[in-house]
Structure 1
Amino acid sequence: MKVLIAGDFAPGARLARQIEARNFSEVFPENLRDTIKSADFSFVNFESPVVEKGYKPITKCGPNLHCTPEAAAAVKYAGFTGVTLANNHILDFGVDGLRKTVECCKSQGLDIVGVADNLKEAGKILYLEREGKVLAVINCCEHEFSIATETEAGANPLNPVRQFYKIQEAKLKADYVVVIVHGGHEHYQLPSPRMQETYRFFVDAGADVVVNHHQHCYSGYELYNGKPIFYGLGNFCFDTFPVEVNSTWNYGYLLELTFEGEIRYKLVPYCQYSKNSNVELIQDQREFDIQMNKLNEIIANPEKLRKCTDDYYFTTSDYMLNVFQPYGNR
């Protein structure tokens, strides 16, 4: 069984115009589509809710992302079979936007995971089968403005206790368990020690692979007790031109996972919406490999990782949040 996972998809700027005009082939070149379609199951984080006239943005800090129904068709055209919806923007236009997003994705035949009309339903595991083998996908996100409650629609929240029980449930029914989390510090290319501890805990609980996205830049990975943890895929298709050009915002990688006894993985790097208006696979990976090795070296060294995190916190308000939110803060 081959599974592919991609990071954030959010139509804006040039990308929004291309998608509304249904110029999908401009966005996703053939070699990119072939890579995505080579997987049995493939997921992208659908970051922007689909909206229609009259939908109202919620009150929050940060932008209220949105897109048109054509965005779901674009994801299908690219070759994806499913979308992860547990992210910090899925409720940017309230329950109407969330439900319209689910409706549009389902109309394209896409599997969805990570959201629902209440907390219990949002936490449901997605099970997929191919040639007698069952894949379980668990999707959750850190707490911002999108979280489901006992009675209200939203995203499945990151909660290690809840995820522990879901992983245990999945292990009874599936051959492979993948946990996909939307979290981390934006524009910071490393996990915090708390992220590392949490994702390692998911492996200890029985997850075969843990994957993270959200930071708008790619991060490194590690093998923990023989299981891979990927700390950041980067943006997949997220245009802010001319704000971000040739920065960490514009680079990421597709994650290919092959489950055949042992788990094999491959990173497929690309450049997205920098100077060119598309997602281009990187042919010469030497620079990418150098940067990835640097990140992996820090992730493997607890002292270096702690120092980098402390240095980062000292430059942000998150340093003070550590005092008031010792568990909940990233």
Structure 2
Amino acid sequence: MVQRMTMAWVKWLGCAGLLLLLSGPVMAAEGVLEILAAGDVLLGGRMLEAPQAGELFGPLTRRRLEQADIFLWNCEIAGLSSVSKQNTFVFHADGLLFPQMAFANGAACTANNHVFDGLEEGAANLMAVLEGARIRHNGLHDRGTFAPLSLLPQREPPVYLLTGSPMSQIGSGPRIVTLSYPQLLEAVRTLRAREPEACIILYSHDGNEGFSEASDRQRLWADWFAAAGADIILFAHSHCYGGFETLDASPRKTFVAWGLGNFLFGGNRGWRSRSDVRL
């Protein structure tokens, strides 16, 4: 059953940690646009010791992910490097599992507080791993070269992804960076002015860990992003599921999901003690 609403119809897809969004602005042009939005993904540590060793998804799950128009997920990890931050949790990936996340409709969000765990070297290696696995991504970029990611190039109106975080800049190098919130806000304004009819999805790594409620910072910036022209705002970082709402006062009745939880990260409770987090 498809329920048509002014902005979005939302449904949790069981325990998989996915949020299903059916977006109103795109619905009017070419029918329903289905977006599967996943939270934090950690493709490293000891995940291969899971019961289904070597396989991240069963055939039914993979088929469901492939059916959507868009599948978004947060890549909260750095590529291997010879250096690391003095951090309790250092998430390094060797790239072994990344081909299993290569969906034709997918895109990884690479603006978060762990993409620089290996400093600029690790960030550069992560970009190489993603590109080697043919995974589209948005977030990490050479300084001054950020561009919105076109998710459905042949669709009218176009659909774009922009990602940023207030926590990504720590440890970044002189060349590879992510957008801060003021930069992300300006990117939304510029894109909306250039393409008035586009659907703009903003994925931000923000929120208070362990709390499902939106933080004051999230609410403040969500209002500003919405006023700038964002259609959908997705937050991850809290490691638990948050609520969702439509900002009716915004120009485009922006839909906001305050916390997407974890998707492949060791569970949503007691994640610090799980074996797939490398200490």
Q: Check 1:126–1:22 CA distance in 2 against 1; reply closer, same or farther (3 A cut).
A: farther
TM-score (normalizing by structure 1) = 0.64
**Which residue does 1:315 correspond to in 2?**
none
| 1:247, distance to aligned residue in structure 2 (A) | 2.9
Which of 179, 188, 206 is equivalent to 1:167? 188
| 1:187, distance to aligned residue in structure 2 (A) | 1.1
Distance 2:187 2:235 in 1: 17
**Which residue does 1:6 correspond to in 2?**
38
1:134 paired to 2:145: no
The SS at the match of 1:70 is coil
Q: Whose helix fraction is larger, Structure 1's or Structure 2's? A: 1
Distance 1:22 1:80 in 2: 25
Among the aligned pairs, what percent are the same residue? 20
| 1:169, distance to aligned residue in structure 2 (A) | 1.9
Structure with bigger gyration radius: 1
CA offset digits 1:105-138 (Å, max 9, x no partner):
11222111001122x22x4211232333311111
In structure 2, give the amino acid aligned to 1:131: R
| 1:202, distance to aligned residue in structure 2 (A) | 0.8
**Which residue does 1:157 correspond to in 2?**
180
Q: Check 1:140–1:147 CA distance in 2 against 1; reply closer, same or farther (3 A cut).
A: farther
1:98-247 matched pairs, under 5 angstroms: 98-118=123-143, 120-121=144-145, 123-128=146-151, 129-143=153-167, 146=170, 148=172, 151-159=174-182, 162-171=183-192, 172-173=194-195, 175-225=198-248, 226-239=253-266, 247=269
Which moves more between the two structures, 175-184 or 136-145?
136-145
Distance 1:181 1:62 in 2: 23
Verify the 8 A CA contact 2:40 2:75 in the aligned structure 1: yes
Which moves more between the two structures, 184-193 or 209-218?
184-193
In structure 1, give the amino acid aligned to 2:179: N
| 1:144, distance to aligned residue in structure 2 (A) | 5.2
Structure 1: which 5+ runs fail to align?
Answer: 251-273, 278-330
The SS at the match of 2:188 is helix
Verify the 8 A CA contact 1:127 1:136 in the aligned structure 2: yes
Verify the 8 A CA contact 1:49 1:92 in the aligned structure 2: yes
1:66 paired to 2:66: no
Distance 1:42 1:72 in 2: 15
The SS at the match of 2:102 is helix
Distance 1:18 1:73 in 2: 17
The SS at the match of 2:235 is strand
1:83-98 matched pairs, under 5 angstroms: 83-98=108-123
Q: Check 1:8–1:80 CA distance in 2 against 1; reply closer, same or farther (3 A cut).
A: farther
**Which residue does 2:107 correspond to in 1?**
82
Distance 1:209 1:238 in 2: 24
Verify the 8 A CA contact 2:210 2:240 in the aligned structure 1: yes
| 1:192, distance to aligned residue in structure 2 (A) | 1.4
Distance 1:219 1:170 in 2: 28
Distance 2:217 2:265 in 1: 27
CA offset digits 1:183-225 (Å, max 9, x no partner):
1111111111231121022111110010000111111111102
| 1:18, distance to aligned residue in structure 2 (A) | 5.5
Structure 2: which 5+ runs fail to align?
Answer: 1-32
Distance 2:271 2:240 in 1: 5
**Which residue does 1:48 correspond to in 2?**
77
Q: How large is the Cα RMSD of the aligned pairs?
A: 2.9
Verify the 8 A CA contact 2:202 2:232 in the aligned structure 1: yes
CA offset digits 1:259-315 (Å, max 9, x no partner):
xxxxxxxxxxxxxxx9xx9xxxxxxxxxxxxxxxxxxxxxxxxxxxxxxxxxxxxxx
May I ask how many residue pairs the two structures share in their alignment? 237
CA offset digits 1:45-86 (Å, max 9, x no partner):
1111221xxx23333433111112112112126x76211111
